[in-house]
Chains A and B, each alone.
Chain A
Amino acid sequence: MDWGRAKSVLIIAFLLLNLVLGYQLWSNIREGLNSSADVSDLRPETQQIMKEKRIKIGTSIPSETPELKDLTFRVQTKLGQGVRHELAKPVDSKVVYTDKKEFQASLGSIIPDLDQYTFGEDRDSEFVFYRMVDGRPMFDVKLELFYSNLKIVAYKQDLIELLPSGKAAPQSVLPATKVVSSLIENKNLMHNGAVIKEITLGYHGQIFNSDIQVSAPTWRVLLEDGGQYYMNAISGEVVTE
């Protein structure tokens, strides 16, 4: 047998195999980098329901599935029931949209832990900031900046102290596509013609009359009309506010 010939054949075969594998790997990596999916990544059944109920997704669907665990934290006042502090000197509301440094410089001396909060949304007459943990928002812990006539005049803040979470091991969360699909497929939840505006991974929990609160990894789905759904990112259960 001609060993040299056989080698050539094997080389070509492996070259082809490597090309195929390489392409697969590359497309996988690209998908990961892109870190988002869109409607076409949902199951065909889900897409069918979306068509029937005229549900649209006006955003990309995150495809990240990081490992997260519950947060335990101590609150100083009841969440959402903090005191409204009036600012002695109103600040231009533009600072909200400026870079972090400038924002920090203008309000950092007045509002404690300001660097821990990140802009979430602009509601009428108030900016809502969320407390961040490892780059993910805690939906229940807010900093609200009240503004009128383009000036920030007051703020209300939920101040917390994160506690070590003990023995619990982090678990990888459910992918957003799965969670959104189950939300869409649930007969009673989404109304006809709903438009999904935003899908965010963060933390949310039931609030108790206690100094210590627990928040679990949660996907939040915001609708264009203001409706919102929280879904436990570990179990996939739909949660109310």
Chain B
Amino acid sequence: MIDKAKTLLLTALVILSLVQSYLLAYSMPGLGVTKSPQQGYLPSEPIGEESKVENVIFPEDMVLHLGKSKHTVLYPASNFYNLIFGKIKSREFKGFQRMTSASVDWDEIRDRDQGLELRFARGVPMELLSKVLKLEGDTPFMNDVVNRIWIYKSSDRDEVRTYFFSADKLTVYESVKADLTAQDVQMYVGYGEYQVNYKRLGNDIYLPEGPVESSATIVGFDSYTTETMQSYTFLDPGVTRAISDRNGSQIYTDGKRGLQIEQNGRWLSYTDSVAAQGQGDNESENVYSAIQFVNQHGGWDGLHRFVYADQFGDAQVLKFQQYYGSYPLVPMDPFLFGNMKLRLQDGTVSEFERSMLTLKKKPEQRSVRWLPGGEMLADAFANYPRKADVVAVYPALLVTPSSDNSLALDPIWAVRFNDDSQEKLLDAIPGGYKPLPGEPGGAALAAKESGSGSGLGAGSGLGGGTAMNNLYGQGGAAQE
């Protein structure tokens, strides 16, 4: 009897312990089954070309001062530009001394002394520039932003002076130990002898006295698919929802990140509601992150130039301007193309905009166009309504969609304003006609100026030609 009761009790205890063990095991935190993502892991093979800091930092243009108030301008990826920039990259700049900008009459040096200015538009942080040029300076110098490097041979002594201009427009740093010689400067300036002459207007603006060659191009494009971009944007593309915007564009979101596809799959804007961690933003760090981010999200389509932007609140906005050949691409409103914009906080990208299109290597059609110079351009600029806000005048390519799978790139004179927006100033002369001296858009007549003026027409041909030879060689400027 007792034996039977014992057996029963023992059995009950064994079963109870089993039940309790089971309950314990499956109610323990951390032992729950974790669900795997709904879509398998997609290997992120990078699409598009990758780039590095060294490839996106280069001067917007180079102004060569030939002395005697003669100037000329070289644009990126042209032969002489590449030659000069390549040489300067191999030189060393050391021993920087700080001084105030106002202590020297720069306009006088501009017109009198032979030299060259490398202009970086809104500027480049020194720390980044030191990746491209060989610089050695102290901390305050390395923390500054430089928008111009000026190398000239002072006319009274046979001595080369090198200045780095801070973007604050007040401070200038002289490199007293730069290994540039007077021969170097003379050689650089010599490249400008056969280029079209540019006239200096106050405010740092140079306008050519003769026509400048460019070319109108129709170029096909490939387009990234929405699926590709989704797979690079979301950790788990399987859980994203597609919703449509009030303007008709598609948005893909996982509740945190958003990917908006606009203009029929031609423009992408990405937003990540990432937390503000802003405490002492490091600009250079942000630029590295931005480049890395673009590498992983579609890569670089040809040559891009880094455009420095200020802080907005606790975030930093960076832009990369796309080039085709020597000239920047300016989209025709409302078409979106030609630049990438990123908003970063502490190295984390919170906004990103880019085109989904990549230009094909070979253009479908290309023909020569002459951009008017001389009085025609000067008049157009003088009568431009927002003239006072203009910070730069330069040749560019206006981008318009010409068919379902190609874009038209038309040469224009463009102007840029303080806020970095760009606009068309003047169209090219239609039909590839090259204006002769005295005609609208051509150089001044020979009689007006002795010697130098008459040579302009022919000279401009040479200058433009070098730019044109490089139309295929995208990326040439920075990769040397």
Contacts and interface: CB of A to CB of B under 8 A. Distances in A.
B13 A70 contact: no
Given A7-B6, A208-B245, A211-B246, A21 B20 contact: yes
Interface in B257-310: 257-258, 260, 271, 273-279
B13 A15 contact: yes
Interface string A8-48: 10110011011001101100110010000000000000000
Contact of B17 (A17, A171, A211): A17
Contact of B24 (A28, A175, A232, A237): A28
A167 B279 CA distance: 41
A215 B253 CA distance: 9
A7 B14 CA distance: 12
B23 interface: yes
Interface string B233-254: 0010001010111110001011
B29 A25 contact: no
Q: Is the contact region of chain B dominated by helix, strand, or loop, or is it mixed?
A: mixed
A88 interface: no
B20 A206 contact: no
Interface string B213-251: 000000000000000000000010001010111110001
A86 B368 CA distance: 67
A25 to B, nearest CB: 6
Interface residues of A, number: 52
B258 A206 contact: yes
A125 interface: no
B277 to A, nearest CB: 4
A188 B255 contact: no
* Chain B contact patch, size range: 35 or more
Contact of B35 (A24, A171, A213): A171
B21 interface: yes
B10 A10 contact: yes
Contact of A70 (B20, B28, B255): B255
B239 to A, nearest CB: 6
B121 to A, nearest CB: 31
Contact of A186 (B241, B246, B277): B277
Contacts of A175: 29
Contacts of B28: 28
A18 B273 contact: no
Given A25-B24, A28-B24, A70-B255, A206 B239 contact: no
B379 interface: no
Given A21-B17, A24-B24, A189-B277, A206 B255 contact: yes
Contacts of A186: 277
B243 A210 contact: yes
Interface in A188-232: 188-189, 204-206, 208-216, 218, 229-230, 232
B356 to A, nearest CB: 18
Contact of B245 (A7, A168, A210, A229): A210
Contacts of A72: 241, 243
Contacts of B6: 4, 7-8, 11
Contacts of B243: 72, 208, 210-214
Contacts, number: 126
Contacts of A15: 13
B40 interface: no
B74 to A, nearest CB: 44
A214 B241 CA distance: 8
Contacts of A215: 255
Given A3-B3, A21-B17, A211-B246, 14 more contacts: A4-B2, A11-B13, A18-B20, A25-B27, A28-B28, A166-B241, A169-B38, A175-B29, A188-B346, A206-B253, A210-B244, A210-B251, A216-B254, A216-B255
12 contacts: A7-B10, A14-B17, A18-B13, A21-B21, A167-B38, A169-B35, A189-B277, A206-B253, A213-B243, A232-B255, A238-B275, A240-B274
Interface of B: 2-3, 6-7, 9-10, 13-14, 16-17, 20-21, 23-24, 27-29, 32, 35, 38, 235, 239, 241, 243-247, 251, 253-258, 260, 271, 273-279, 346, 350
Interface of A: 3-4, 7-8, 10-11, 14-15, 17-18, 21-22, 24-25, 28-29, 32, 65, 70, 72, 166-169, 171-172, 175, 186, 188-189, 204-206, 208-216, 218, 229-230, 232, 235, 237-241
